[in-house]
Amino acid sequence: MSHFPVALCDQLNNSTACDQQRKQSHCKKMTMPSHKAAHCIPPHTLTRLAREWLAEDTPNFDPAGACVGSQEVEARLLCKTPHSVLAGSPFFTAVFTEVGCTVDWVYQEGEEIGPGAITLTAVVKGPARCLLLGERSALNCLARASGIATRCSQLQAAAAERGWHGEVAGTRKTTPGFRLVEKYAMLVGSVSMHRQDLSGMVMLKDNHVWASGSITQAVREARSVCGFSSKVEVECQSAEEGREAAAAGADIVMLDNFQPQELHVAAHVLKEEFPALLIEASGGVTPENLAMYFSPHVDIISLGCITQGCPVVDFSLKVQKPATPPSKTTSVMYKQSHDDSIRKCERRLF
C-alpha cells in the first residue's frame, strides 16, 4: 500500500481518460455489483467469510495502524492485467464494509476490464487504518476470482465459436476454504460449477468401484441411499464400463482420460444405446486442446485447470496523497534550504 508516485499518476491519467465519463455515471449508484450470480450469495455468508478472512490476517494487534491513524482517505483500485473479467466484487465489498469503508465500482461484475495497461476499477474510502486492514484480504479474493472468471470466459468463448452444444465445467479441485469464491467465479465466467461438494451429487470414481466390487453394485448401493433427488455419475475407463454404468441406472457417465478420437467413438456408441444418458469428458483437457474434445455426443467437458494453476489478475490499491498546502514548518525548512543554496552559489562565484 503506497501513495501514487508521479509517474504512475501520469500513466493512470493517460490510460483511463476514457473511463472518466464511465466513472461519473457509475460510481454514485454502484455501491454493490450488478450481476445475477451475486444474488446467489446469502448476505450472512458474505459477512461470515469477510470476518474470517480479517481475523486470519489480523488475529490481535495491528501495530502499523498507529502510523496512519483514522483520518479519512481515498484509494484507487487499479487493474494491471488488460482484458480481464471482473469477478469477486461482492467479497471485496463485504471485507471493506466490515471495517467501515465504502466501495464505489467503476466496472460491473462480469465486465471485461481494459484495454488500458492500468485501469481504474473502483474507489475505496474510509479511515486509513481500517482501509489498510481490509486491503490484502479484499485483493486476494478479487485477484483469484477474476483470474478464474477470465479463464472460464475464454473457454466458453472457444466453445461458442465452434458451435458446441454442451457445457464447459469446473471440478472440485478447489482451494480448501475458498471453494465458494472459486465456484462463484465460474458462474461469473459463464461455465458450469459442476457439483458443489460430495453432498451435491453422487460421483462414483474408480476407488468407489474397487471398494464395492463392481460398477453395478456401487450404483445400486448409492441409489438406495440418495433416492430420486440426486443424480449418479460414474467415472469409466472404457466404453464397456460406461455401458455397465448406464445399464445399472447411472445418469451420467464420465469418460476419463480418453484420447479425443477414442472419446468420440465411445460417446457415439453409448448415446446410440442410451439416448438419455449424459456423457462427460474429463482428464487431460487443457485450454489449448479443448476444441479437440468437442463432439455432438459429449454433453459436458470438465477441466481441473479452471482452478488449478489458473493465473490471477493483477490488482493493486493505491491511496491518493492529499493535496494539502505546505505547513508552516515545511515553509521554513524550504526557505532555509533555499538560502543555503544561494550562499553556496555565491561562494563558488566569488
Catalytic positions, written as ranges: 173
Burial label, 59 (beta-carbon count in 10 A; 0-12, 13-18, 19+): exposed
- What's at 6, amino acid-wise? V
Give the DSSP per-residue string, 19-88. Answer: HHHHHHHHTTT-SS---GGGGGS-HHHHHHHHHHHHHHH-SS--TTHHHHTT-EEEEEEEE-STTEEP--
* Strand-strand pairing, 72-79 and 119-127: antiparallel
The runs of H, that is alpha helices, within 99-238 are: 128-162, 179-188, 206-212, 215-226
- Cβ atoms of residues 54 and 64 within 8 Å: no
Residue 192 DSSP label: B
Q: Could you tell me which of 58, 129, 124 has the C-alpha nearest to residue 96?
A: 124
